Amino acid sequence: MTALRGSSEKQRPIGVDWRRAEFVLTLLAFLGFLALPIRITTIYSSLPAHPLFVHVPVVLIPVTVITAIIFMAKPDWFSRYAIALAVVSIVAMSSIFLTMQAGAALRAALNLQGEAANLISQHAQAAHYLSYLYVVFTATLIVTFSAQRISSGRPTGLGVVDRLLSPKPIFAALRIFLVLLSIGAGYMCFRTGDLGAKAVWQGRIQAAQRGGPGGPIAPGPTSAARATWPRRGTRRRSGDAITTLDTVAPIEPPPDQ
């Protein structure tokens, strides 16, 4: 009886250890929202910031969602590397906010019209959906990590949290939900990037039609017309004189005798 009481006392935490990984990750996730109001429009040499920032979520989001799916199939790997995955997810979440703000500034500066403007609008809307979905993904990832630790006999000391996350079926349900969120976030990342690429291409077409940089080049002469040109350095008779054609120039007829 004494042994049982002693073992239960060992399993029961004394107070709440706020230094636990779950609490630290939650704090970092809230700090990640500090990037939401930051608007960096340009970088070195006044280049637009959006084309540079966009590479961060484009790389990190697929990496995190694919890794999360793998970890849900391998719970042992999840328990070992979940903290690193959560940190990378928080960085990716913050990069989405920075990229969206930089994209809004670039959109206002370009002042596109027609189809390009429509595609940019769809691109921005998809980016908003992606941000909402990825915030839920990051939060669910942290909660799933907490549920795994609590259900395996490592309670946090917070009664409400421990009671909610201690059942094994809760952990199983969170794993399924995280997989669904991973698939959704991966699709929205692809969709957002696809719309952005189409908008850039459509903008170049519009610039070409207006004759701007990268615009159309005036059509050159046909091959049949070029075949009639005298070649540089050829020699042609003009009356009794021999003329060397260093440049393409009209040949005047000889004077009447």
Domain ranges of the chain: 18-209
For residue 147, the tally of other CB atoms under 10 A from its CB is 23
Per-residue pLDDT of the chain (257 residues; tens, 9 = 90+): 444 444 444 455 567 888 899 999 999 999 999 999 998 888 877 888 998 999 999 999 999 999 999 999 999 999 999 999 999 999 999 999 999 999 988 888 877 778 878 888 999 999 999 999 999 999 999 999 999 999 999 998 888 999 999 999 999 999 999 999 999 999 999 999 999 888 877 767 666 776 655 443 334 444 444 444 445 444 544 444 444 444 444 445 555 54
The closest of 27, 34, 35, 22 to 141, measured between CA atoms, is: 22
Question: What CA–CA distance (Å, rounded) separates 84 from 200?
Answer: 35
Phi, psi for residue 256 in degrees, rounded to 5? -65, 140
Instruction: Locate 240 and state its tokens.
Output: 């009794």
Q: What is the pTM of this model?
A: 0.74
Residue type, 248: V
* Host H or E run for residue 253: none
Q: Which long-range contacts (CB under 8 A, 24 or more apart) does 150-154 make?
A: 152/79, 153/11
Which one, of 106, 133, 130, 134, lies nearest residue 120 by Cα? 106
Q: What is the pLDDT of residue 200?
A: 79
> Rounded CA gap, 111 and 123, in Å?
15
- 50/68 Cα distance (integer angstroms): 27
Percent helix, strand and coil across the chain, each to the nearest 5: 70, 5, 25
Residue pair 105/41 in contact (Cβ under 8 Å)? The answer is yes
Cα distances (angstroms) measured from residue 194 to each of 40, 93, 126, 190: 23, 19, 10, 6
Check if the beta carbon of residue 246 is closer than 8 Å to that of residue 233: yes
User: How far is residue 154's CA from residue 6's CA, in Å, rounded to a whole number?
Assistant: 16
Q: How far is the C-alpha of 197 from the C-alpha of 224, rounded, in Å?
A: 40
Two structure tokens written together for 196? 């952005």
CA angle 163, 164, 168 (to 5 degrees): 95
Q: Is 235 helix (H, G, I), strand (E, B) or coil?
A: strand
- What the block records as the tokens of 21 is 């990984």
Residues 251 and 236 sit within 8 Å (Cβ to Cβ): yes
Element (H, E) at 36: none
